[in-house]
Amino acid sequence: MDSIWDSRVLSPEAVRLDGRVALVTGAARGIGAATARALARFGADLGLCDREEEGLRAVVRDAESLGARVVAGCFDARQGERVEDFVAAVEEALGSIDVLVNNAAGTFAAPFLDVGERGEEALIRENFGTVTRFVRAVVPRMHRGGALVHVTSVEAHRAAPGYAIYAAMKAAVENLSRSLALELAPRRIRSNCVAPDMIPTPGAPLPPDGLSPGGWALTPWPERGAPEDVAAAVVFLAGDLARFVTGASLAVDGGTSAAGGWKRMPGGAYEL
């Protein structure tokens, strides 16, 4: 098959998402809200869902003010029947879905031995089951090919004491994404992950000075991260600039995964 660049010029227009339909889960706040607004600015129409009604309404208003057509659904992404109905409504109103951003997730802090079966089941359903459920609902509606973008975490690639099951599910999503990249390639559907860390959100605020209680920098990069940094990575993976990128995981973490145990101290020196 020919490359798209045989008949097109690589230019700034290639980043645009005009005429495409993107579905974002967990779109009411934080990374999901920033991603929805960014996709709208780059020309996409949107299907947005979240269980937080007030925040979702605000994001819908912003996206529509940016010119996007929007279909919104306020429900819990763990509800399988609601997921199927919502995805069908998005396709009916906006047409073939081109981008799925699996962002909905949640966790709580507890040692593994203190997490009972009900808590474990809830974590699995929220962090892995929502991903598989939306993939199954959306992929048959990707009639022009498309892009799956799964928001995981740096915890998909390292231990997370106190969050063991959450981290295991993020690792599961990362592995699933690679398998989907191979299975869906004949349908021209790409599957990639974005793995953030040290991104302040309403559920996970960070110190404004970017320093830990011990005085060392939270990231090697000297500037604070923001939800928009993750949204920028999603926009890249959603569009033609990433059309030969599949099965990848893009770290948006200010260098924390590269640093391992190294910590940047005041003055710029690193210590273990």
The pTM score is 0.94
Closest by CA position to 58, among listed 78, 32, 95: 32
Report pLDDT for 1.
67
Instruction: Determine phi and psi for 148, rounding to 5 degrees.
Output: -100, 130
Query: Amino acid letter at 8?
Result: R
Enumerate domains of the chain plus CATH numbers: 15-208+226-259 (3.40.50.720)
> How far apart (Å, rounded) are the C-alpha atoms in residues 154 and 95?
34
Q: Would residue 166 show up in a list of annotated catalytic residues for this protein?
A: yes
DSSP string computed for 139-195:
GGG-BTBEEEEEE--GGGSS--TT-HHHHHHHHHHHHHHHHHHHHSGGGTEEEEEEE
Query: What pLDDT sits at residue 229?
Result: 97
- pLDDT one digit per residue (tens) for the chain, 272 residues: 678 899 999 999 999 999 999 999 999 999 999 999 999 999 999 999 999 999 999 999 999 999 999 999 999 998 888 999 999 999 999 999 999 999 999 999 999 999 999 999 999 999 999 999 999 999 999 999 999 999 999 999 998 999 999 999 999 999 999 999 999 999 999 999 999 998 988 777 777 777 777 778 888 898 899 999 999 999 999 999 999 999 999 999 999 999 888 888 888 888 88
Q: Which among 223, 110, 125 is positioned nearest to 162, based on CA atoms?
A: 110
Catalytic: which of 166, 167, 199, 229?
Answer: 166
